[in-house]
Amino acid sequence: MNKNLKKVISSVAALTMVASSVAAFAVDFPDVESTASYAQAVQELSALDVISGYDDGTFGPDKLVTRAEITKMIVDALAERSSAEASTESTKFADVSADHWAKGYINQGVANGFIAGMSDTEFDPDANVTYVQAQKMLVSAIGYETYAQAQGGWPTGYKTYAASLDITKGISGITDSTELTRAQVAQMIDNAMDAPLCVIASWKTEWNGSKTPNLEVRDGKEGRAYETLFTEKHDAYKVYGRVTETSKTGSVDTDKVTFQVEKADNFDDEEVKADSPVSEDMYIGDSKADNYLRTYSQALIQKNDDDEFTILSIAAAAANKSVTVASEDFDENKSTDEALYFFPAGTTKGSTKYQLDTTNGVTIYINGVESSKSIAELRDYLDKNETASVTLQKETETGSTSTSAKYNTIMVSSYVTAIVDEVIDKTNETSVNFDTYSSGIQAKMTVNKDDDNYTYSFKLDGKDIEAKDLQQNDVLNISYDTTGSFKDSSFYDVIVTRNVVDGVKCTSINDSKGEYTIGGTKYKAAEGMDIDVETSTEYSLYLDHFGRIAKADENSVSKNYGVLKNIYKKAGGDYMAQIITKKGTEEEYKVDSDKVNEYATYLKYATFYSDAKKENKIDTTTKDWQSKVVAFDEPKYSTSQPKSVAYPEQVVEYSVSSSSNKITIKNGGVIAPTAADAEYKESGNKIGSVKMADSTVILDLSEVDTKDSYSVVSSLNDGSNYVAYGYDKSKSDNTYRFVIITEGTSSVFNSETQLAIFNGSEVIDKDGDKTAYNLVVNGEEKQFVLDDDVVITGNAGKTVAEDAFDEGDVLVYATNSEGYISRIYSVFAAQNVLNGSSFEDFRTNAFKKQSSVLADTKFADLLSDDDNDVNVVFGPVVDKSGSNITIGTVTTNAEGKYVVNYDEGLEVNYSNAKIYTYDFAARSDNSRVLLDEGIASTPDVKAAKTTVGGQDILNLEHEDVIDDVVFAVVRTTDKDEAQEIYLIVNND
């Protein structure tokens, strides 16, 4: 649906004085197929509010119509609803009560003379109307009562005129007594509204002084005007013509099209013929007229008092000669510049030829925009874009029903694919960040809400939704202007899909056809997406609108990787294997006795002791040492071969029996790793030769030697050095599915460190008395238990008690493998506690990543009070003047550096910067800045500037700049007034 309807609404609301009802726009009823014979009649009458649907949104085309209901419809067609609703007197019919819903309409219908009672005292409002009754009512309603009576009266005369006026056109296979459905009644009323009116042109005085009317049929002949109920009561015109320009093809506004009227008995009180067509820019309304580019169509167009036109309904005329085919059926081998060939759907033989107009040229449109592609380039495009829809059209000649002999217009609808990662909704725009997406487009789509130069539509299950309603992992098929870049497109038409198939195994892959058989069904990859699947592996499939795979997530149960930590014998006699799982937990599983010796050999760098003779060290250099192994206590690792060296050599793939809890190690033993000691490159998502995918499981063993702890890592710091080991390399994209990191993540300031707002603490009963902190993390309040050995550091850089923090303090924390907080710091102590670049890494990564998260609605709600709605703004302080501070917005320059606008007048996100005023009165606590109390000493925010591309910027990655940056969290009212300010400063 076109979102820019402000002008349309105002134009349609001001109808001519003749029309007493306001157009309600056509309704797309779910139970009215677009191909139904009565569909256009329903669309036209619903647009004029002559008919309406039911409360559940349906039209009910097969439901029967009562006499009361058809009376109301005809009164509305005559634009006399206000008179009917103003009628307060009772009817003369005993069976129409004073509070009957149709009382006023029945009075108006009787007054107009198009309907009478079944007798003088009985109307029978709930009886179903018959075919012959409806003919009589409509013939009389448009003025032909006298002529019908002259032709034999009831019922013959009315039937004769109903047929001659085309009122019964489209109605067949029924008899006079057939009770009519809503679809049939809609078709007959629509026909009657388009028939010439019979009106009283003048009055003739007879010999006896009485006056009789002179009737005139307004059929446009012999100098007579052409008038219908459409034109006279609703200022609407039935015309034939075509859309010649849209906002995508020309300079017309986004809520309009240029429509060329080529044939009309009456358009704006003039007859229009083929030799003199009339073109007007018209509002689209809800007609979807922009989808009918160059298509010869019948349309209903309405004019308002400001001489503006709105297309109320439109449908392709029968004269069109077009065919729609799929690009996946394109026969590239036989197609030429003179003809395109397409196979019948689902086949690969016997392609059909479609001859092109090479004399006068073929016009090509891609996603509604005229393309400069040649036929040869189009052929290559169709071959590469398998999910495109292709409509070949023989364009109808102006004002004629004849068409060209060859196809002269090709319209292609193509889509790229993206999967939603997160949605950030702001006042003026919504940003949709992508997880994965088709090659050639960007990682983000921005919806400009109030800019009339852009249009957007998002449809989920055929219904319009807003961009802010998108959810993580939604699959998007996006149509955009392919003549330019994705981010510069003036429109996005998006189909949203939430079709996930869980727990299905890939059984075969056909590389030549690009087909994957998964869960017994054959799939192809979604447009522009690289799918990495392997046989004998289970996946969750995220399918697009076309049923193709946009994303295949390997199920966590399909491949279990882990570190074999130990093999030992329990006191009860069972052999057990200890596994460090890819979830960062430690699990124990039973081992078959005949597998003990084999599995024990996988502990490569351990020193073993016999359960029977622990005092005797087994010499692993002897050939028969394995035969002496029976069962073990915890293996011992020497300082020369610590666990951080041993564990990467003891990674296995395994399965566990759900019934016996026994482990089976697969593939004959340990998995050989690919080792790397290098910087992490975010652009390639790799550490040296170890390249990772988004689905890669990363296990942190950086503290396994000292604390025997492990956890799962979700992200890494760009430029930081890590020692990593990669396992199970994918054949399709060379990424590793499982990675162990043994060095580089142990600092408190790393990718797993979390920025949080303290919101109180409480004592809980779990494994004895423990303290839990309530923290706001990523916009949500969560509770974390403090570990027994937790390190708590306050503002002065000294260890403090568990209750040392106040609500609102800004903290950073890290958790251990059990999920307990192992370290927590006031952010102001961080630089004092740590040396080197770790604080800079944290500030330039974690803080920047939180800039959008801290503006989350849930965070705002947490800080709100009962009387005021609040918003939260987060960013670096880039300027201070008097009592004003300016908070910048983080962005990235052409060199990939994070920058913030510094001086007014620069273009880099300065329009998004916020300026807040507060009191700098004395306050000793720098952790919170209140409006009424201020702070004792304002930090120096005149941070060093650098120049990039001739612009002064604040470079958050520059070593001379980072220590001077002051961050702020500002709590504001809905009027953008500061209520409370938290400054995040470096106390050095």
The DSSP annotation for 260-316 comes to EEEEEEEETTEEE-TTS-EEEEEE-TTS-GGG-BT--EEEEEEE-TTS-EEEEEEEE
Task: Check whether 16 has a pLDDT greater than 80.
Answer: no
pLDDT band at 853 (very low <50, low <70, confident <90, very high): very low
In whole angstroms, give the CA distance from residue 949 to residue 894: 9
pLDDT band at 972 (very low <50, low <70, confident <90, very high): low
In whole angstroms, give the CA distance from residue 794 to residue 811: 9
Structure tokens at 193: 């509204």
The DSSP annotation for 358-426 comes to TTT--EEEETTEE----HHHHHHHHHH-TT-EEEEEEPBPTT-S-B-SSB-EEEEE--EEEEEEEEEE-
Q: What letter does residue 345 receive in the DSSP assignment?
A: T
Query: What percent helix, strand, coil does the chain show, rounded to 5?
Result: 15, 35, 45
In whole angstroms, give the CA distance from residue 264 to residue 241: 9
H helix and E strand count, the chain: 17, 53
Q: Parallel, antiparallel, or unpaired: how do β-strands 721-729 and 711-713 relate?
A: unpaired
Work out the number of other CB atoms within 10 angstroms of the CB of residue 404: 16
In tens, the pLDDT along 597-634 reads 888 888 887 765 544 344 444 555 555 555 554 445 56
Task: Check whether 429 has a pLDDT greater than 60.
Answer: yes
In tens, the pLDDT along 565-584 reads 988 888 767 888 999 998 88
In whole angstroms, give the CA distance from residue 393 to residue 413: 14
542, containing H or E segment: strand 538-543
Query: Which segment of 159-163, 518-522, 928-932 scores lowest on mean pLDDT?
Result: 928-932
Structure tokens at 105: 């309409």
At 182, the amino acid letter reads R
Query: Which segment of 468-472, 499-503, 751-755, 855-859 scores lowest on mean pLDDT?
Result: 855-859
Task: Check whether 747 has a pLDDT greater than 50.
Answer: no
**155 preceded by cis ω (within 30°)?**
yes
Rounded mean pLDDT, 144-171: 94
Give percent above pLDDT 70 in the chain. Answer: 73
pLDDT at 129: 97
In tens, the pLDDT along 647-662 reads 999 999 888 887 788 9
Task: Check whether 915 has a pLDDT greater than 50.
Answer: no
Task: Check whether 37 has a pLDDT greater than 50.
Answer: yes
Are the beta carbons of 44 and 286 closer than 8 angstroms?
no
Mean pLDDT is highest, among 445-449, 656-660, 664-668, for 445-449
Q: Parallel, antiparallel, or unpaired: how do β-strands 736-743 and 721-729 relate?
A: antiparallel
Q: Is 568 exposed, middle or buried (0-12, 13-18, 19+ CB in 10 A)?
A: buried
pLDDT at 871: 55
In whole angstroms, give the CA distance from residue 570 to residue 586: 16
- Cα–Cα distances (Å) from 468 to 495, 849, 860, in that order, read 14, 20, 17
pLDDT at 802: 86
pLDDT band at 912 (very low <50, low <70, confident <90, very high): very low
In whole angstroms, give the CA distance from residue 663 to residue 655: 6
Closest CA to 696 of 717, 679, 721, 713: 713
pLDDT at 767: 54
pLDDT at 899: 55
In tens, the pLDDT along 93-128 reads 999 999 999 999 999 999 999 999 999 999 999 999
Structure tokens at 380: 């290559």
pLDDT band at 362 (very low <50, low <70, confident <90, very high): very high
pLDDT at 574: 84
Task: Check whether 2 has a pLDDT greater than 50.
Answer: no
Closest CA to 697 of 682, 683, 713: 713
Are the beta carbons of 958 and 946 closer than 8 angstroms?
yes
Cα 785-790-791 angle, rounded to 5 deg = 135
Structure tokens at 33: 């197929």
pLDDT at 308: 94
pLDDT at 25: 47
Task: Check whether 142 has a pLDDT greater than 80.
Answer: yes
At 790, the amino acid letter reads V
In whole angstroms, give the CA distance from residue 224 to residue 783: 83
In whole angstroms, give the CA distance from residue 697 to residue 559: 11
Closest CA to 526 of 555, 561, 565, 499: 499
Question: In degrees rounded to 5, what are phi and psi of residue 58?
Answer: -90, 165
In whole angstroms, give the CA distance from residue 977 to residue 851: 19
Which is more confidently placed, 900 or 232? 232
Task: Check whether 914 has a pLDDT greater than 80.
Answer: no
In tens, the pLDDT along 260-315 reads 999 999 999 999 998 899 999 999 988 889 888 888 899 999 999 899 999 999 98
Task: Check whether 678 has a pLDDT greater than 80.
Answer: yes
Report the phi/psi class of residue 977: left, alpha or beta, with left for phi > 0 and alpha for psi in -120 to 50: beta
How far is the first Cα of the chain from the last one, in angstroms, to the nearest whole number? 56
Mean pLDDT is highest, among 88-92, 553-557, 562-566, 778-782, for 562-566
Sheet holding 475-480, edge to edge: 444-448, 429-437, 416-425, 475-480, 491-497, 455-460, 463-465
pLDDT at 423: 86
Which is more confidently placed, 886 or 34? 34
Mean pLDDT is highest, among 173-187, 198-212, 913-927, for 173-187
Rounded mean pLDDT, 223-242: 93
729, containing H or E segment: strand 721-729
Are the beta carbons of 232 and 198 closer than 8 angstroms?
no
Give percent above pLDDT 90 in the chain. Answer: 37
pLDDT band at 352 (very low <50, low <70, confident <90, very high): very high
In whole angstroms, give the CA distance from residue 130 to residue 779: 64
Report the phi/psi class of residue 35: left, alpha or beta, with left for phi > 0 and alpha for psi in -120 to 50: alpha
Q: Which residues pair with 202 in a beta bridge?
A: 214
Half-sphere exposure of 25 (CA within 13 A, CB side): 18
In whole angstroms, give the CA distance from residue 857 to residue 779: 7
Task: Check whether 980 has a pLDDT greater than 70.
Answer: no
The architecture in CATH of the region 416-497 reads: Beta Barrel (2.40)
Structure tokens at 528: 């522009």
In whole angstroms, give the CA distance from residue 724 to residue 680: 10
Cα 837-842-848 angle, rounded to 5 deg = 135
In tens, the pLDDT along 591-607 reads 988 888 888 888 887 76
In whole angstroms, give the CA distance from residue 873 to residue 972: 8
Burial 388-403 (b: 16+ CB within 10 A, else e): bebbbbbbbeebeeeb
Closest CA to 509 of 539, 475, 477: 539
In whole angstroms, give the CA distance from residue 473 to residue 422: 9
In tens, the pLDDT along 460-489 reads 988 889 999 898 889 999 999 998 889 889
Burial 324-347 (b: 16+ CB within 10 A, else e): ebbbbbbbeeebeeebbbbbeeee
Are the beta carbons of 468 and 504 closer than 8 angstroms?
no
pLDDT at 641: 80
Are the beta carbons of 298 and 252 closer than 8 angstroms?
no
Structure tokens at 286: 């809800």
Q: E strands within 184-245?
A: 198-205, 211-217, 236-245
Q: What letter does residue 143 receive in the DSSP assignment?
A: T
Rounded mean pLDDT, 406-431: 89
- CA 720 to chain CA centroid, Å, is 35
Are the beta carbons of 147 and 196 closer than 8 angstroms?
no
At 55, the amino acid letter reads D
pLDDT band at 971 (very low <50, low <70, confident <90, very high): low
Structure tokens at 809: 């303090």
- Cα–Cα distances (Å) from 984 to 478, 576, 821, 885, 975, in that order, read 41, 50, 22, 14, 24
Q: What letter does residue 967 receive in the DSSP assignment?
A: E
pLDDT band at 975 (very low <50, low <70, confident <90, very high): low
pLDDT at 601: 83
Where does 754-835 sit in CATH, by number? 2.40.50
In whole angstroms, give the CA distance from residue 530 to residue 549: 9
Report the phi/psi class of residue 910: left, alpha or beta, with left for phi > 0 and alpha for psi in -120 to 50: alpha
pLDDT at 754: 59
pLDDT band at 893 (very low <50, low <70, confident <90, very high): low
Structure tokens at 974: 């809905």
pLDDT band at 426 (very low <50, low <70, confident <90, very high): confident
The mean predicted confidence, pLDDT, of the chain is: 78
Helix (H, G, I), strand (E, B) or coil at 566: strand
pLDDT band at 718 (very low <50, low <70, confident <90, very high): confident
Q: Which residues pair with 463 in a beta bridge?
A: 460
Rounded mean pLDDT, 372-399: 87
Which is more confidently placed, 972 or 10? 972
Residue partners of 925: CB distance under 8 A and separation at least 6: none
